[in-house]
Amino acid sequence: MKTIHWALALAMTLSVISCKHQKEEITQQPIRVKTICVAQNNDTSSGKGYPGTIEAGEETPMSFQIAGTIKRVNVKVGDKVTKGQMLATLDATSLQQAYSIALAAEEQANDAYNRMKILHDQKALAEIRWVEVKSTVKQARAATDIARKALADANLIAPYSGVVSAKLADNGQTVAPFEPVVNIMTIKRPKASVSIPENAVTSISVGDKGIVTCGGKTYPSSVCEKGVSANPLTRSYTVKLTIDENTPTDSLLPGMICQVDIKSSKADTTHVIELPLSAVLLSNNNKNFVWLSKDSIAQQRFITIGNMTDNGVIVTSGLEHGDYVIVSGQQKVSEGMRVTPVN
């Protein structure tokens, strides 16, 4: 009986050992993973594409400098206007009357001046009286100039040729000084506006060349503005590019979505590494890390991340160009485990 118990115990032990060896063989099989090479996909030395929006080359809200009631708005949205064209007018009845009164007062002052000058030349007029006459003439002329300016301000004139982009007031509406009535813009040499992450904006300078792609067409451009204040939510900076002169831009309209590729003059020394968000994991002590495939062996690498982007997250430190980051299957690996990239 003891012999049977011993045999059973031996058989169970051998079975456990056999199962253990089978499990070890299973776990030793390389894990299939997908990787990306940092140098291949994240080097900005050849330019970096960013989504952007087409803006008017120049846009101006047009308003009267005086208060009044609008007599007529002469344009509508989409109308082309030329420099010097009248966009709108105010009811100028009272202004015309004020100008007529000022003009009559000036004529009266001039007439008095001419009569008094004869007496002054004949030494028949007191000097203090002569000073008063000259002062009255100056005041009358100034009042006429003010009334003439107010009458002219009742006309809203286009400062440059362009297109009406907005109509903000109607006939019969009372407007305050500097209250916008219409907006006009020029679509010649439009701009592309993009948001650049803080990690990349330092490599961009005013004057850097770029390519704006919109509607399947490309437009050479150059950086004309670089923001110095970050958006408090996205921590990105606004950069604007102007389409190069003599480039046909008839098909570009404000508000269109475009893609902007900036060829940074400083890109030789500045690199931005961007990873899919799913590739970045969190350790037990709340540190960000990724799994690398180094000689087909999984290796943990702690990293520091920056801003979120449309495609993932910016890595500010911890990775080097040439590293192979596991972006799929990383949940199945552990330190030192064999992996097989299936790219």
* Count of residues making up the chain: 343
- Residues 171, 111 share a domain: no
**pLDDT at residue 48 in the model:** 57
**Can you tell me the mean pLDDT for 233-251?**
88
Residues 199 and 250 in one domain: yes
Residues 85 and 100 in one domain: no
pLDDT classification of 271: cutoffs 50, 70, 90: low
Kindly report the average pLDDT of the chain as a whole number: 85
Domain boundary among the residues 170, 186, 202 is at: 186
Of 100-114, 147-161, 267-281, 289-303, minimum mean pLDDT range: 267-281
Q: Is residue 78 domain-shared with residue 118, that is, in the same domain?
A: no
> Angle at Cα 40 formed by Cα 36 and Cα 43, nearest 5°?
120
What pLDDT shows up at residue 268?
45
132: domain CATH number is 1.10.287.470
Domain end, chosen from 133, 165, 186, is at 186
Q: What percent of the chain has pLDDT over 90?
A: 53
CA torsion 34-37-41-42 (nearest 10°) is 120
Residue at 22 is within a domain: no
Mean pLDDT within 213-223? 90
The pTM assigned to this predicted structure is 0.53
Q: Virtual CA dihedral for 329, 335, 338, 340, nearest 10 degrees? A: 30
Domain with 35, as residue range(s), is 29-44+272-341
Q: Is residue 11 part of a domain?
A: no
Domain membership of residue 6 (yes or no) is no
325: β partners: 36, 292
Q: What is the structure's pLDDT at 46?
A: 40
Task: Evaluate whether residue 101 is within a structural domain.
Answer: yes
Query: Tens digit of pLDDT for each residue in 19-43?
Result: 444 444 445 688 888 988 875 444 4
CA of residue 131 relative to chain centroid, distance: 61
Give tens-digit pLDDT for 85-114: 999 999 999 999 999 999 999 999 999 999
Helix (H, G, I), strand (E, B) or coil at 218: strand
The answer to whether residue 35 sits within a structural domain is yes
Same domain, 221 and 327: no
Question: At residue 320, does pLDDT exceed 90?
Answer: no
Q: Give the total number of structural domains in the chain.
A: 4
| CATH code: domain of residue 203 | 2.40.30.170
- Say if 105 falls within a structural domain: yes
Tens digit of each residue's pLDDT (9 = 90 or more) over 135-179:
999 999 999 999 999 999 999 999 999 999 999 999 999 999 999
Are 194 and 52 in a shared domain?
Answer: yes
**Is residue 24 one of the residues assigned to a domain?**
no
- Least confident stretch, 68-72, 152-156, 201-205, 291-295: 201-205
* Whether residues 281 and 305 fall in one domain: yes
Of 263, 282, 315, the residue that ends a domain is 263
